[in-house]
Every structure is written in C-alpha cells, then in structure tokens.
C-alpha cells in the first residue's frame, strides 16, 4: 500500500474518533468526556519512550544470555503505564455515567471514539515502523 494512502486512511480514521468524542460532548451538553482525548493520546507515549531508550542502549555490558530478548524493567514499567492509561480512558466515562454526570449515549460515544483514537495511533506506528527490511528478499 502506498504511504500516502496509509496517511489518508489513518487521518480519516482519527478524525472519526475525534468526531465521536466531540459529538458525545456537544450532543449531551457535558464536556467532561473531553478528558478521554487526553488520556488516549498519552497512552502510547510510554511505549514509544521505552522503545527509543532500549534501541539506543548498548548490549555489550548487559550480560544477557538470550541476546536481549528479555524485556527490561523500563519496558515492563512502560507497558504497565500504557495499560493504566487505557483502563483509565475506558473507566472514566463509566464512572461519569455511574455518578450521573453524563448520559448513556455520551458514555458509549466517548469510549468508542477514544478506542478508535488509540488504535489509530498504534496502527500508524506499526505501519511506519522501520522494520520494512524484512520483506525485501534481495535487499534492493
């Protein structure tokens, strides 16, 4: 797939996620669900930071017998932090609905839109990762 087509598809997908979250705020006259945007935008950042730290780390003095396949404590912490953000992004609208601050439609729309935003960011990182050399059989 052409990289321009990927960017167009992913931007349309991201816009639909933002649209759902903004409509959940505007249609039900409660702007408390805007926090979902911030939470789901912050969710992939710990994994990005951990992968950049581990990519720049020198494996000469780590004394790993399995060639670095074991996750480092930084990676484990960042995965936990990402999981915390994802669970928080889902549970915040549920908590708002339970305490009657938002309605059912706003809750469903904000959770769906937030998950769309998070999945779009993860797919964008996956599409444009630098591991494209594996598909090239002749290294042209």
Instruction: Examine residue 65 and state whether it is found in any structural domain, yes or no.
Output: no
Instruction: For residues 43 and 49, give the distance between their C-alpha atoms in angstroms, rounded to a whole number.
Output: 11
Instruction: Examine residue 39 and state whether it is found in any structural domain, yes or no.
Output: yes
Q: How many domains in the chain?
A: 1
Instruction: Examine residue 64 and state whether it is found in any structural domain, yes or no.
Output: no
pLDDT, tens only, 57-99? 655 555 555 555 677 788 889 999 999 999 999 999 999 999 9
Residues 6+ apart with CB under 8 A from 101: 30, 32
Instruction: Examine residue 134 and state whether it is found in any structural domain, yes or no.
Output: no
pLDDT, tens only, 89-101? 999 999 999 999 9
Instruction: Examine residue 136 and state whether it is found in any structural domain, yes or no.
Output: no
Instruction: Examine residue 137 and state whether it is found in any structural domain, yes or no.
Output: no
pLDDT at 75: 86
Instruction: For residues 52 and 48, give the distance between their C-alpha atoms in angstroms, rounded to a whole number.
Output: 6
Cβ atoms of 111 and 90 within 8 Å: the answer is: yes
Give me the domain span that covers residue 49. 3-56+70-128
Instruction: Examine residue 99 and state whether it is found in any structural domain, yes or no.
Output: yes
Which residue is it, tokens 């000469």? Answer: 60
Cβ atoms of 138 and 35 within 8 Å: the answer is: no
Question: Of the ranges 64-68, 102-106, 133-137, which is most confident?
Answer: 102-106
Instruction: Examine residue 139 and state whether it is found in any structural domain, yes or no.
Output: no
């Amino acid at each position: 797939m052409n990289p321009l087509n990927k960017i167009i598809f992913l931007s349309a997908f991201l816009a639909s996620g933002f649209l759902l979250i903004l409509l959940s705020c505007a249609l039900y006259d409660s702007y408390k669900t805007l926090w979902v945007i911030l939470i789901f935008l912050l969710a992939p950042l710990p994994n990005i930071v951990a992968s950049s730290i581990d990519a720049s780390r020198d494996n000469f003095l780590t004394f790993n017998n399995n060639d670095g396949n074991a996750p480092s404590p930084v990676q484990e912490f960042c995965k936990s932090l990402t999981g915390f953000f994802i669970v928080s992004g889902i549970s915040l609208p549920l908590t708002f609905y339970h305490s009657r601050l938002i309605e059912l439609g706003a809750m469903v729309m904000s959770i769906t839109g937030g998950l769309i935003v998070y999945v779009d960011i993860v797919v964008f990182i996956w599409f444009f990762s630098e591991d494209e050399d594996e598909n090239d059989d002749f290294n042209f």
